[in-house]
Structure 1
Amino acid sequence: MSSFPRADDFAPIPEYDFIPLGPNDFIFNHDAEHSLSATESPLPDKLSSFKNFYITRPLSYSNRKYSFSTKYEKFHVTAHHRAGYNKIYNFRRSRSFFFELVDLISDTNQIELKIYTNDYHMSSIPIQHTSTSRLPNIKFQISKLLTHFFSTQKVIPRRLQSKFFGLIRKKLLERVDFIKSRAQKNDLTNHMTKTFFNFSYKKYRFYFGIYIPCNHFCTTNRLNTTVHTCTVPVPFTLSKGRSACILHHKKLVLYITPKDEIPPHDNNCCNPKDFHADLLHRRWASKRISNHFSRRLGISFDTKYHAYGLNNNAKKGSDCIYGKIYFNFKHRHSTSIRTQKRQHARFDSLRRQIFHSSNLPPNANRDDQFLAAKRKCFLFDAEQHICKRLKHLRYKKKFSTPLQSYYNFPLPFPDQDIGIIPVQPVKDNNIPIDELSISTDPILDKVPSHLIPLIPDYPLYAGGLRNQPSALKVKKKKLQPLTVGSDAWLALMEEAYERYEENKRYEENKLVYSIKWETDPDRAEYREDLYSAVMDYTDAIHNLELKKLEIASRPPSLPVPKNTKKGKQKKKNKQADNASTSTFTSDIITDKEILMELCDPVNIHEDIPYSVRSKAQLYEPDVMVMDANLKKRRADTNGNLDSHYGLYIPKKVCTAPDRLGSDTSSSNDTK
């Protein structure tokens, strides 16, 4: 069996032993700087004012030995999102090991190197090492830390440690250079450099990296307001020394530098959403057209931004502000025949995949293909014209005219968008009829004033407001629209007005619920519906149980006294017995009928709360998210939670009466 490699068995390489020093060298250890006097420092005096990872060895070696220790330091985070570069915080399927490097001599007599890990099975007992230098260089520190790791882990066998030792040390030394190069940059970009790399052995996963502390201020918990510096390892570093752990990603300063705009001097002065909305408004107002070309598919197309009119939100309730138009599709294949065949194959494969996902047959007509491609925002024909809604910018309130004073960014208006059919402005219904402008159109004089703001821009056809024919059906059957002001047209408009009033009352109720539950309208509506369903079911159960209690508390009917005399009294006693029996039977039947009637509402309202929750979970899962409760106690501060400590109380099996009052018990005996 090969011997385990020692950390100090290496030849000094100029690449890692000495690098020219600079004033902008990045420092991993963010502790306070402590410099030594000229008599205590083993380095020349001219290098004492510089900071660098790589410390040159003194020219004359002494026999003095300096001791230092290596140990494990545990870290743990409570954030649930651990994907991407945050995978280093996952401890169920992988383990992370971050090596802390010391580049400054502290005031203490002994240097302590730490390995930050989320593996709580590792022993925290430190291991002592010796060195001929008071401050070992980076390669020596990494070697000793790796020696500590291999001597405490139980996964990688000893026969393979010599193979992986040099590989991991080389990767860590390269990671030091990568981090240093990124952190010293002064450019205004958001490019990230990871502080770790992946390493796997069979089914075991490891993440090795260089430890950089978060250094953002945070509190211990909600009860203890003591502020301290966060020491959790960071997964990446950015230019200008920016870094943050998973708990403080929101505190990072990110730069917004669009290519066609002048970058602002201070990125914190404007909300990113407002800045993006202002950028889209400028691109829409300047009628900017962007050209896109794909060499992989051999196609090209153009895009531009479109602004929806304000009436689109006031009448139809469509709250999207902007849309992105895709048009001018062209095939631009390569001149190489081999590349051209590959482009054809990729494009045909993508088109078949999109049509197959929409369940279209191979011989589908052109309109169905255009509709399927529109759902996936896919261009394959020069006659296509797709407008995709930008759903991240919306109006705050539906079915109302938005006001500019409610927004921190400029709103587009219909009369500014050339090429879009102008929409009639919305008239305010709160203005008295006397102050309304007199219409010069004789046709509109026949239309009531409350219907004028709801007149659509498209023609109406017979058949009801919900059964309007499609454009293809109108063209095929040559249908004639209804005349404005006719009786059929007015009936459709009255139906539209009733629908508008119903939507208006619905929105007003949502606002009332929002004030009542102190949350947004969608969540408030869901909670009000669930509250009403639960209360109806509770009332039905209460009425049923109240009737059962009344029947149970009713005194039993006394038997009719019988005469013991013989003769004529026998017939009277028999008649009295029959009468009492019939009365008692009629009372029992009446009580059962009442119980059956009370059981019907229980059966009806029993499944309504579950249907409300399942519907919200299927169509609107965001409304089920509860607001943050600042007064809620955490699990680690509540000692009454048995589940927190893994204790479970065995439950007993008991009999419960059914809804008709009769007791039912399980046939199986519980031991």
Structure 2
Amino acid sequence: MISSRANNSRERNTTTKTFFNFTYKKYRFHFGIYIPCSQQHPHSTFYDSREHCQVPSPFVMSQCRRACVMHQSIFFHNENLNNVRKYGRQNPTLPATSMVNDKRSHANLLHDRWNCRWKKDVISHRLGISYKESYLARSKGSVIHHANKHMYRKWLDTFSIQRSKNVKTAKAQEIRFRRACRRTFHAKGHNKLDTMRHRLITAQRYRFLFLPSQYIYKPIKHLHYTHGLDYPDYGFKIPINQDITSQKDVVVHTVEQYNPVPAGFFPSKYKDIIPKEPLYTSAGDFIIPGSRQWFTRMYQLDLA
């Protein structure tokens, strides 16, 4: 592993330790592989500047970079790689040009991602979940009506459970996900009735996904319409560049609207007690109208 890291030519700042330690009863054991520092000594009366340091290095990096404790400050100042992230791993449709780390470059990059409908698959191996992440621009009507100056919002949706094939790892992922649910739904501001509607409100507040049918809007807080919508030049690209017109937001349904009445046959006595809102199980699973679980819930409501 150490040899693989040292001989790797990738431009990364990932380190690999050259030692390991463990405790047995009252004793602490340290084992390591001797890899000399190989940094030149600074000009001093105690060392010859032409000689290389032979003190063991506690880590190695790609391209055989390493340094001992005495030379780490100089090493990380001179040999640490900066701006090593590749554009090809972010989005192949964006131009592979060097990016300056300032507000204008970040705003233009965000605008390009929104304009080309960029999407990112986010996978958490710790929780065993995945979801999609994309950007949405605020419409003029939304900015004017809600008096909210944020230019963009992050849209999180398509939540799914992706457990590991390893039984032990999958069990640990399930425990961590349940712990995250308890921490979110036992927060101070959560309603004590703990209905599904209250859970969705709390999940939106804490930006927490736990249902496949759920989606979350998260505002991008570092880009605002600080000079108004009609300001000619912000210094970077903005999603709104036409004249201000007060228009109502048009709701575009990406999926079929929810119909609480099942398509098949059902007893006429259930017609007046069918809830208009979607039904969920105690585990948070959606109950399809006309299914066996749906008839069980209607039977319980009829008895009540």
TM-score bucket (shorter structure) = 0.5 to 0.7
Aligned to 2:226: 396
Matches within 5 A, 1:301-312: 301-312=131-142
Match for 2:126 among 296, 299, 306?
296
Are 1:411 and 2:238 matched, yes or no?
Answer: yes
What SS is found at the alignment partner of 1:324?
A: strand
String of CA shifts for 1:130-184, please: whole Å, max 9, x gaps. x9xx766334xxxxxxxxxxxxxxxxxxxxxxxxxxxxx73xx4279769955xx
Are 1:366 and 2:299 matched, yes or no?
Answer: no
Residue 210 and residue 305 in structure 1: after superposition, are their counterparts in 2 closer, same or farther (change >3 A)? closer
Give the conservation status (yes or no) of the 8 Å contact 2:151–2:220.
yes
Give the conservation status (yes or no) of the 8 Å contact 1:311–1:401.
no
Q: Which runs of 5+ in 2 are unaligned?
A: 1-37, 251-275, 278-304
Are 1:262 and 2:95 matched, yes or no?
Answer: yes
Give the conservation status (yes or no) of the 8 Å contact 1:291–1:300.
yes
Aligned to 2:207: 377
When the two structures are aligned, how many residues end up with a matched partner? Answer: 211
String of CA shifts for 1:94-125, please: whole Å, max 9, x gaps. xxxxxx623xxxxxxxx535xxxxxxxxxxxx
Match for 1:112 among 34, 45, 52?
45
Shift of the alpha carbon at 1:414?
9.5
Aligned to 2:261: none
Aligned to 1:282: 112
Are 1:335 and 2:176 matched, yes or no?
Answer: no
Matches within 5 A, 1:2-81: none
Residue 135 and residue 369 in structure 1: after superposition, are their counterparts in 2 closer, same or farther (change >3 A)? closer
Shift of the alpha carbon at 1:363?
5.2
Aligned residue type for 1:402: D
Aligned residue type for 2:45: E
What SS is found at the alignment partner of 1:408?
A: coil
Give the conservation status (yes or no) of the 8 Å contact 1:310–1:414.
no
Aligned to 2:57: 174
Residue 380 and residue 330 in structure 1: after superposition, are their counterparts in 2 closer, same or farther (change >3 A)? same
Shift of the alpha carbon at 1:314?
3.7
Shift of the alpha carbon at 1:372?
0.9
Matches of 1:280 and 1:378 in 2, distance apart?
Answer: 23
Aligned to 1:320: 150
Give the conservation status (yes or no) of the 8 Å contact 1:176–1:210.
no
Give the conservation status (yes or no) of the 8 Å contact 2:39–2:71.
no
Matches within 5 A, 1:221-240: 236-239=77-80
Residue 315 and residue 426 in structure 1: after superposition, are their counterparts in 2 closer, same or farther (change >3 A)? farther
Residue 235 and residue 402 in structure 1: after superposition, are their counterparts in 2 closer, same or farther (change >3 A)? farther
Aligned to 2:280: none
Give the conservation status (yes or no) of the 8 Å contact 1:256–1:263.
no
Residue 353 and residue 411 in structure 1: after superposition, are their counterparts in 2 closer, same or farther (change >3 A)? same
Give the conservation status (yes or no) of the 8 Å contact 1:401–1:426.
yes
Matches of 1:196 and 1:313 in 2, distance apart?
Answer: 55
Aligned residue type for 1:333: R
Residue 236 and residue 350 in structure 1: after superposition, are their counterparts in 2 closer, same or farther (change >3 A)? farther
Are 1:352 and 2:182 matched, yes or no?
Answer: yes
Calculate the aligned-residue CA RMSD, in Å: 3.8
Which structure would you say has the larger Rg? 1
Higher helix share: 1
Aligned residue type for 2:229: T
Aligned residue type for 1:112: T
Q: Which runs of 5+ in 1 are unaligned?
A: 1-51, 55-99, 103-110, 114-130, 140-168, 183-192, 198-207, 213-233, 241-252, 416-424, 428-452, 459-474, 477-671
Matches of 1:413 and 1:135 in 2, distance apart?
Answer: 61
Match for 2:51 among 137, 145, 152?
137
Aligned residue type for 1:137: E
String of CA shifts for 1:344-363, please: whole Å, max 9, x gaps. 11110110011112453675
Matches of 1:393 and 1:364 in 2, distance apart?
Answer: 35
Matches of 1:179 and 1:112 in 2, distance apart?
Answer: 33
What SS is found at the alignment partner of 2:226?
A: coil
Shift of the alpha carbon at 1:318?
1.0
Matches of 1:178 and 1:137 in 2, distance apart?
Answer: 22
Matches of 1:136 and 1:345 in 2, distance apart?
Answer: 57
Give the conservation status (yes or no) of the 8 Å contact 1:175–1:209.
no
Matches within 5 A, 1:180-259: 181-182=64-65, 197=69, 208-210=70-72, 212=74, 236-239=77-80, 254=83, 257-258=86-87, 259=90
Shift of the alpha carbon at 1:393?
1.4
TM-score where L is the length of structure 1: 0.28
Aligned to 1:273: 103
